[in-house]
Chain A
Amino acid sequence: MSPKALDYEQLNENVKKSQYAVRGELYLRASELQKEGKKIIFTNVGNPHALGQKPLTFPRQVVALCQAPFLLDDPNVGLVFPADAIARAKHYLSLTSGGLGAYSDSRGIPGVRKEIAEFIERRDGYPSDPELIYLTDGASKGVMQILNTIIRGNKDGILVPVPQYPLYSAAISLYGGSLVPYYLEESANWGLDVNNLRDAVRQARSNGITIRAMVIINPGNPTGQCLSEANLKEIIRFCDQQNLVLMADEVYQQNIYQDERPFISARKVLLDMGHPISNALQLVSFHTVSKGYWGECGQRGGYFEMVNIPPQSVEEIYKVASISLSPNVPGQIFLGLMVNPPKPGDISYFKFVQESKGILESLKRRARIMTDGFNSCRNVVCNFTEGAMYSFPQIRLPPKAIEAANRAGKHPDVFYCLKLLEATGISTVPGSGFGQKEGVFHLRTTILPAEEDMAGIMASFKKFNDEFMEQYDDHRGYSRL
C-alpha cells in the first residue's frame, strides 16, 4: 500500500519541526487532569478573562449594538445601553461598508486605521500614516505575515531574544528560516547587552546565515522587562548598522508596573533620533486588544504599523493580506475603541476609568505578590515583573532532580512543572519552551489569577517546592546561573 499524502512521514518537515510550548505538553496534561476532575489553575497563557478578569463594559456595549443594529431603532434601547455607547455604535457602523458582516478593506476599515494613527500620534508626538497601518486577526497573524515576507530560505536568520515568546520560534520554523538567538541577561534584570547581539550576529554569519531582522518584545514576554530609552537607541543603531528590519512587539505597552522605565515606543525613539536614521531604519511595530487592561484575547484584534518600508514591499504585504480578504470586523472595532476610549465628560467615562484602573492596579499588586512569593523560596530567584503579564522565576534544581528528570526522559524544567501540576493543579509553561541558557531552568506563569487567590497559589507553590527540594536535595549544590 503506497504511502498516503497525509501519512506522518509525508508531512512538511517545517511543520514537524516547529513547536509552540504555550499549548504544548504541560497544557495538554493539565487538560487531561481537568477532564478527570482535578481543579486546574491555568497560568500557561496570557488569557486574563479565563481567570476571572471581567471585560470592560463600554466596548462590549458598543460591539453588541453593532452586532444587532436593529436595536438602535428600538425605543427601549436606552433602558439597556447608555447614550454614548449607542452613539459610538452608530459611528463605527458608519465606518463599515455594510456593518459587521461585510468584508472590510483588506488592510482594515480606513476609519479605524485613522483612529489608530491618531492614537499613535498622541502617544509618540509624531504623525502616523493610516495607509501604513494594517489590521490583523490578532497581532500574531501580523507577525507571521511579516516573517513570511522576510524569510526566503534557511539561510535567512531572524534575531530573537532568549527567552522569547515561542510564536517567533514556531513561525520562523514554519517558514523555513533560521532563529538566531541573542541572550538577555538574567542577572541584569533581563537587560539587553548589545555585545550579546554582536556575538550572536558574528556567529550566525560565520555559519553562512544572512541576518534579516531583529525582534524585540517590549515589555518582554516571558521576562517582563521594560527597555530603557538608551537601550532602544542602541538597538536602533545596531539594526541600522547591520541592515536589519526591527520588529517591535509592543503588545504589552499598557502593562507597566514600575515608574523607572515607562513604555516608550521604538518608533518614538527612532524619530527622536532624527535624520538620517529616522528615514532609513525599517521598523514594524505590533499591538493588540488581547493584553493591556483589555485582555480581549478572544476577539482577535491586532495591528502592525510600518515605518520606512518601500512602497513596493508594502504592496506585496497588501497583496498577501488581500488573499485572506479581511480581518474580522468586530475585532477591528475593539481596536478602534481601545485607541479611542471614553473621554472625560462622556457618560461612560467614569466607569471605564474605574474598571481600567482597577485592573491595572491589581495587576501591579499581583506582580509584586508573585515575585516576592517566588523569591521567598531558597532555590528560586525571580526578577520583578516590570511589565507584561508573566513571572519567569529561575528554579535551581539539585543534581538528583536532574538525574530523575533524565531517567524519566524529560527536560528538567518539564519534569519539575509536571510534578508541580500534579501536586497543586498549577499549570505553567517550562522555561525550555521559551529558551534559556544551558543548565539553567525556569518556568513561566502568568500574574493573572484572581488577587484573592494569589496568596493561596503562592503558598501552594512554596509547599510543593519545599517538598520537592526535600526529596531531591542532597546538598551537593544546585544548578546555577
Chain B
Amino acid sequence: MRRFAADRAKYLLRRAVSSSSSSYPSLSPHSSSFPYSSASSTAFDPPSMGSFPGQSSPVTLQTINPKVLKCEYAVRGEIVTIAQRLQEQLAENPSSLPFDEILYCNIGNPQSLGQQPITFFREVLALTDHPIILDSSETQGLFSADAIERAYQILDQIPGRATGAYSHSQGVKGLRDTIAAGIEARDGFPADPNDIFLTDGASPGVHMMMQLLLRSEQDGILCPIPQYPLYSASIALHGGTLVPYYLDEATGWGLEVLELKNQLEAAKSRGVTVRALVVINPGNPTGQVLAEENQKQIVQFCKNEGLVLLADEVYQENVYVSDKQFHSFKKISRSMGYGEKDIALVSFQSVSKGYYGECGKRGGYMEVTGFSTDVKEQIYKVASVNLCSNISGQILASLVMSPPKVGDESYETYSAEKDGILSSLARRAKTLEDALNSLEGVTCNKAEGAMYLFPRIRLPEKAIKAAEAANKAPDGFYALRLLEETGIVVVPGSGFRQVPGTWHFRCTILPQEDKIPAIVERLKAFHKKFMDEYRD
C-alpha cells in the first residue's frame, strides 16, 4: 500500500497547487496559490542524517519513523480519498457521473448518515455544557425535568461544576462510579471505579495497552483475522508483531481455541513472545456474536497461557438475533470463578456505536482488571501525560452506562428511540445480507451484531488478471469499480486481512432505510455487469 500514499500525495498536491505541471511532486519546484505551501523542492533529496546542514530536511519520507511508514488503516484509505474527489466532482457537475450521490458505507459513522442522537443524552450534554442556564424557569420550558435533574447530579460530581477543567486523569470520579454501577447492573458482578480509565473514544485505550505490552518486535499480539485495522496499525506503530488467528468463515466466523493454540505455538517457535489476545465481540468486520461456551474456552486459554485478554466490546448493544446475547468477558470470567488473581482482562467500551452512535464525541473507557498496583500506576502515568479525556465525552459515557429507567419522564421517548434504531439496524442487516447472498459468486454470513456485512466475493480469473494489470488487489479492484459505477463506498477485505486467496469487502448497514432499496438495486446491477464482463 505504499503506492496509495504516493497517489494521495499527488492528489493533495493537485488540490493545493494551482499551476504545477509536474507529474510527480519531487521533480520540479513549482509555484502555488499558497506561497508557503509544503511543496518543498528539497523533499526527495537523498537522506542526510543531519550531517550535511541545509542539504536535506529532517522530516522526509526517508527519515521519518519507520513504524509510522509501516502502519496502515484502510477504513479511511485510498478508496475514501477517491470517493471524496468524486463527491466534489458531483457538487460541481451533478450529471457528470452515473449516480447522483456518494454513499459512504465504509465507516461505522451512523450520525453522518442520518441517524438521530438520543434526545435525553443530548439534553443532559447541552445543560452540562452551559450550566448557568440550569436555574432559569425558561430552561425548564426547553428541557425535560429528568434531564435537568441528571445534569445537576453530574455537575455536583464535578469540582466547582467546572466542565472546562481537566479532570482526574482516569476521568471524573463520580462518573466512574456511575459507569462501575452500570457494569455491575449489566453483569451481576462488581466493578471498581478505580479500574476504569475514561478515554477519547475506545481507541486511545487500545493504544495505551499496546504501548505497555510491546517492548520490541519480539512481542506479539494475537489478533483475529479478519480484524478491525486499529489493531494492526497500533501494533505496527508500537513496534510489535501481529500474530494472526483465523476466524472460520464456514462456521459463521467461528473462533476455535485450537486455532489460537496453533498460532501461539507457531509464534513461539519463531521467537515471538505472545503477550495478549484481542477478541472483538460482537465482531468487526465479521459481525458474529460469540456463544457463551466459546467465550469460556477463550478465557480458559488466556488463563492457561498467561495472556492478557483484550476484549473489544464496543458493539455490545448491537445484537440483532434472538438466539444470541452479549455477555461481557468480565462476566464470563467471574462466572467461571476467575477473579483478579486469575486473569488479566481489559474491556473496551465506546459511545460511538450501539444505538447512540456518538462517534464525534470521542467518549469511551477501558476497565482494567487483574493487574498489580504497580502496573496500574504505569497505566495511570501514561494517561496523565495527556492529562484527561474530554469531559463531555466522559459525561456521555456515564449516560450510556446509566440511561433512563422505567418511570423516568424521558424513559418512553428514550426507549422508543433506542428500539427504533436497533430494530431498523436489524432490518437493514437482513435486507443487505439477503441482497449480497443473491449475487453471483457471493456468500455473506449473517450480521448477528455490530454494524457491518463482510461478504465473500469469488471473482473469475479474468477479473483477477484485470486487477493484477491495474496493479490492485482483486477486492480493491472490485471496490473501486463499484465506487466508480454506483457511488457506493466500501472497504476492500484486504484492509482487514483475510485467508490468502479469498476476497471480501466490508459494507456498513448504516445508510438510512429509505436508501437501502436503491443501494440493493445498484449493487445488483453493478455486480451482474461486472460478472458479465469478466465471467470465464
Footprint of B on A, CB under 8 Å?
Answer: 2-8, 10-16, 18-20, 22-24, 45, 47-50, 52, 55, 57, 60-61, 63-65, 67-71, 74, 76-77, 79-80, 96-104, 106, 126-129, 131-132, 137-138, 140-141, 144, 148-152, 167, 170-171, 174-175, 210-213, 240-245, 271, 278-280, 282, 295-300, 306-316, 318-320, 322-331
Q: How far is the CA of A14 from the CA of B44 in the complex (A)?
A: 32
Nearest residue, chain A, Cβ from B302: A5
Q: Chain B contacts of A8 at CB under 8 A? A: 372, 374-375, 378
The 5 A-B pairs at the shortest CB distance, nearest first, are namely A310-B43, A329-B360, A64-B130, A298-B391, A50-B165
B378, A15: Cβ atoms closer than 8 Å: yes
Q: How far is the CA of A336 from the CA of B237 in the complex (A)?
A: 31
A313, B385: Cβ atoms closer than 8 Å: no
B164, A55: Cβ atoms closer than 8 Å: yes
The A-B contact count (CB < 8 A) is 374
* Binary per-residue interface labels of chain B (64-90) against chain A in the complex, 1 for a CB within 8 Å, 0 otherwise: 111011011101110000000000000
Q: How far is the CA of A136 from the CA of B229 in the complex (A)?
A: 21
State which residues 382-437 of B face A: CB under 8 Å.
Answer: 382, 384-393
Q: What are 8 residue pairs bridging A and B, where the CB atoms are less than 8 Å apart in the complex?
A: A10-B275, A49-B165, A60-B130, A98-B109, A101-B358, A171-B385, A309-B38, A320-B68
A323, B234: Cβ atoms closer than 8 Å: yes
Q: Chain A contacts of B129 at CB under 8 A? A: 60, 63-64, 67, 330
Q: How far is the CB of B120 from chain A (nearest CB, A)?
A: 10
A99, B393: Cβ atoms closer than 8 Å: no
Q: How far is the CA of A242 from the CA of B61 in the complex (A)?
A: 19
Tally chain B residues at the interface, Cβ within 8 Å: 123
State which residues 472-498 of B face A: CB under 8 Å.
Answer: none
B160, A328: Cβ atoms closer than 8 Å: no
Q: Chain A contacts of B391 at CB under 8 A? A: 298-299
Q: How far is the CA of A212 from the CA of B47 in the complex (A)?
A: 13
Footprint of A on B, CB under 8 Å?
Answer: 5-6, 8-9, 12-13, 15-16, 25, 34-40, 42-44, 48-50, 52-61, 63-66, 68-69, 71-73, 75-77, 107, 109-114, 117, 119, 122-123, 125-127, 129-130, 132-133, 136, 138-139, 141-142, 159-160, 162-167, 169, 200-201, 203-204, 211-215, 229-230, 233-234, 237-238, 275-276, 306-308, 344, 352, 356-362, 370-372, 374-375, 378, 381-382, 384-393
Q: How far is the CB of B346 from chain A (nearest CB, A)?
A: 9
Q: How far is the CA of A168 from the CA of B54 in the complex (A)?
A: 25
Q: How far is the CA of A314 from the CA of B385 in the complex (A)?
A: 25
User: Which one of B35, B48, B109, B133 lies within 8 Å of A102 (CB-CB)?
Assistant: B109
Q: How far is the CA of A243 from the CA of B113 in the complex (A)?
A: 46
Q: Chain A contacts of B386 at CB under 8 A? A: 138, 140-141, 144
Q: How far is the CB of B200 from chain A (nearest CB, A)?
A: 5
Q: Chain B contacts of A7 at CB under 8 A? A: 372, 375
Q: How far is the CA of A64 from the CA of B392 in the complex (A)?
A: 11
Q: How far is the CB of B179 from chain A (nearest CB, A)?
A: 18
User: Which one of B34, B56, B59, B237 lies within 8 Å of A129 (CB-CB)?
Assistant: B34
B127, A64: Cβ atoms closer than 8 Å: yes
A23, B384: Cβ atoms closer than 8 Å: yes
Q: How far is the CB of A469 from chain B (nearest CB, A)?
A: 33
B200, A300: Cβ atoms closer than 8 Å: yes
A298, B164: Cβ atoms closer than 8 Å: yes
B160, A312: Cβ atoms closer than 8 Å: no
User: Which one of B142, B200, B238 lies within 8 Å of A76 (CB-CB)?
Assistant: B142
Q: Chain A contacts of B357 at CB under 8 A? A: 101
B37, A315: Cβ atoms closer than 8 Å: no
Q: How far is the CA of A133 from the CA of B482 in the complex (A)?
A: 32
